[in-house]
Structure 1
Amino acid sequence: MSAKADTKPQEDAVAPKKAGGMGLGGMKLSGLLKPQATAVADSALKELALDLIDEDPNQPRLEDNPGFRPEMIAEIGGTIKARGVKQPISVRENPDAPGRYIINDGARRYRGSKWADKSSIWAIIDNDFVPDDQVVANIQREGHTAREIAKLIGQRMASGMKKGEIAKRWGKSPAYITQHAALLDLPPAIAQAFDAGRIADVTLVNELVTAHKSKPQEVADWLADESQEITRGSVKLLREFLEDGVKRDPNTIDALNGKTDAENEDGEGDSEPPKKKTEPKEEDPTKLKKAIVQVEINGDLCRLILNKRPSDGDVAWFKNEISGEEFEASLASAKLIALVEG
């Protein structure tokens, strides 16, 4: 059979077989298209030059959205540089600029491709677009939970991969991988709160783990209160409370002597009586807190500098009280004027 006869209709085609493509080989386009009768035709998949694509100025995500932070785009760009774009973006034809396109979905992949110095990107041209499509896509794109990510990291590590290798492959920082890997071996009290959905922030989990190492029972008791909100603010207060230390309830029973703290303080039981507070001593009115020796040299009022080493035994350093100048002079030339308190 000739090569021409082997050619299949466009609707049965998969991604173009271009060398160095974007990882679309073998992927059925039907999974990317809309199920409605007006579904986008397979021929709408194209490789477009990045300089022909514009971002939607009215897209619902604002420029200060966390997903648009430079470090996030750099992460995406690093992955694209290494592995290509795995999912085409969606664009529509620009009615005001023939030959140009506006992004429906995929602004971050578009920015990541530019960061990676790519010249083109695969895109599905979908002119059947309404602004709410972007909102729905962003709301429904939940991604993996932190626990799921931890499980995946555990699987990779069990296969022999190092954390640094996982970070590089996923386009994440080593700290990100380490934080999530810590979720694999949580203390029971923290694991229970995390699995119950009371803690969603990985940073908070790690802060609680740190606190638990030094005060396990206190952290467990704190988490046992299901009405306790676990937020950045509440965890910060907990850690400050544990670090500063607070006096125990006076009714707490001492495990050694069976007495309460209050009884011990009253002198009952085997504990030593509390020590009396020592009264502060009265200051000696004859002592100077800081002595200043004032002298007169060549008619100028000066002070003797006591903490500066002189060059010889019969000289000393002085400071002119008017000009502030410091100088070295003979002790014989200095006339004692007064001894005052500084």
Structure 2
Amino acid sequence: MISIDLIDEDPEQPRSADNPGFRPESIQELANSFGPKGPKTPLSLRDNPKESGRYIINHGHRRFRACKVKKLDEVPAFIDNDYDVDDQIIENIQREGQSPREIAERIGIKQAAGAKNKDIAARWGKSGSWVTQYATLLDLPEPIAAVFNAGRANDVTVVNELVTAYKGNPEEVTDWLSVPTQEISRGEVRLLREFLAEKNKGGSTMRDPNTLDIVFGETDAEADEGAQGDKPKKEKGRNTDPDKLKKAIVQVEHDGRPARLMLSKRPPAEGYAWIKYEDDGQQFEASLTDVRLVALIEG
């Protein structure tokens, strides 16, 4: 055990300051996973050549930051002065994490033993929604299970989005997945869900029989109206008060990318919110300290 006050981060470490692994919420999750004595995997340190009695981190910068968040006085560590500048990048690029399937199976084992999702989340230092997302992989509809098992869809968020779309439109989602060349990405699934939402509202569509590419058309009501000539449209339930917003959309910026707050999803904790990127539709939990308010508009 070495005093945390004697340890310095390596200024030449390969992770940049804006690396996702250094996000405050990511470090907080890691800290939540520690026991009272800190991480079970010790930090690798080397002697600081410029200051006798101090150490520089070889491996374990995220663990070190999480220990500081945990307000620990000492951390488990070992000294390795046989250090090479390439060691850190080699460790990072060669690290192979657990696959989504392996994580889901471990959740299933713990659930079978009586553990609740909230208990698993607390023990692993993750949010309840994170555990729920992976637990969904244990009981997928057959068409989605097929593409997941074939390795065509490994992104947990994408798989959950497909499950949501399948519940309301199983035939359409099955047809869409049946195309061997169909890309299954966050952007493509977002377009699929937008198409299904438009279809369910009564929009007419056209499909290329070879690619099943989706083209939005006018609604049946708009087509009938166009055939009858230009007639004024009646707007139902229009808000006549110019000072009131009918539907508020909060536009923000996160990590330099345009996004919006998802006001319909409950935040995981005070000071956090669900965010949705505008460019690829990715949804995630974020600290409001990392979000910049851009605009409040009417949807």
Assess same fold via TM > 0.5.
yes
Counterpart in the other structure of 1:49: 3
What SS does structure 1 have at the residue aligned with 2:34? helix
- Alignment deviations for residues 286-318 of structure 1 (CA, whole Å, 9 cap, x no partner): xxxxxxxxxxxxxxxxxxxxxxxxxxxxxxxxx
Q: Give the partner amino acid of 1:122.
A: P
What SS does structure 1 have at the residue aligned with 2:81? coil
Q: How many residues align?
A: 214
Change (3 A) 1:280 1:87: closer
Counterpart in the other structure of 1:134: 88
Change (3 A) 1:84 1:280: closer
Larger radius of gyration: 1
RMSD: 2.3
Question: In the alignment, which of 178, 189, 192 is matched to residue 235 of structure 1?
Answer: 189
Change (3 A) 1:48 1:187: same
| Residue identity (%) | 52
Aligned positions of 1:115-130 closer than 5 A: 115-130=69-84
Aligned positions of 1:56-135 closer than 5 A: 56-82=10-36, 84-135=38-89
Task: Give the conservation status (yes or no) of the 8 Å contact 1:91–1:125.
Answer: yes
Deviation at 1:86, TM superposition (A): 0.7
| Structure ranking higher in strand proportion | 2
Change (3 A) 1:240 1:275: closer
Task: Give the conservation status (yes or no) of the 8 Å contact 1:151–1:184.
Answer: yes
Structure 2: stretches of 5+ with no match in the other structure: 210-223, 233-299
Task: Give the conservation status (yes or no) of the 8 Å contact 2:32–2:124.
Answer: no
Counterpart in the other structure of 1:192: 146
Distance of 1:126 and 1:83 partners within structure 2? 22
Whose relative contact order is higher, 1 or 2, with alpha carbons under 8 Å and at least 6 apart?
Answer: 2
Deviation at 1:51, TM superposition (A): 0.7
Counterpart in the other structure of 1:172: 126
What SS does structure 1 have at the residue aligned with 2:126? coil
Deviation at 1:215, TM superposition (A): 1.1
Q: Give the partner amino acid of 2:99.
A: T
Q: Give the partner amino acid of 1:226.
A: P
Aligned positions of 1:328-339 closer than 5 A: none
Question: In the alignment, which of 184, 191, 204 is matched to residue 247 of structure 1?
Answer: 204
Deviation at 1:84, TM superposition (A): 2.9
Question: In the alignment, which of 90, 107, 110 is matched to residue 153 of structure 1?
Answer: 107
What SS does structure 2 have at the residue aligned with 1:247? strand
Change (3 A) 1:243 1:281: closer
Task: Give the conservation status (yes or no) of the 8 Å contact 1:88–1:123.
Answer: yes
- Alignment deviations for residues 55-113 of structure 1 (CA, whole Å, 9 cap, x no partner): 11111111111111101111111222446311111011111111111100001111111
Task: Give the conservation status (yes or no) of the 8 Å contact 1:164–1:174.
Answer: yes
Stretch deviating more after TM superposition (187-196 or 165-174) = 187-196
Counterpart in the other structure of 1:11: none
Deviation at 1:280, TM superposition (A): 5.0
Structure 1 runs of 4+ with >4 Å offset: 274-277, 279-282
Deviation at 1:125, TM superposition (A): 0.5
Change (3 A) 1:58 1:235: same
Deviation at 1:200, TM superposition (A): 2.0
Deviation at 1:167, TM superposition (A): 0.6
Deviation at 1:226, TM superposition (A): 2.0
Change (3 A) 1:189 1:281: closer
Deviation at 1:169, TM superposition (A): 0.8
Q: Give the partner amino acid of 1:278.
A: Q
Aligned positions of 1:284-323 closer than 5 A: none
Task: Give the conservation status (yes or no) of the 8 Å contact 2:38–2:75.
Answer: no
Distance of 2:226 and 2:130 partners within structure 1? 53
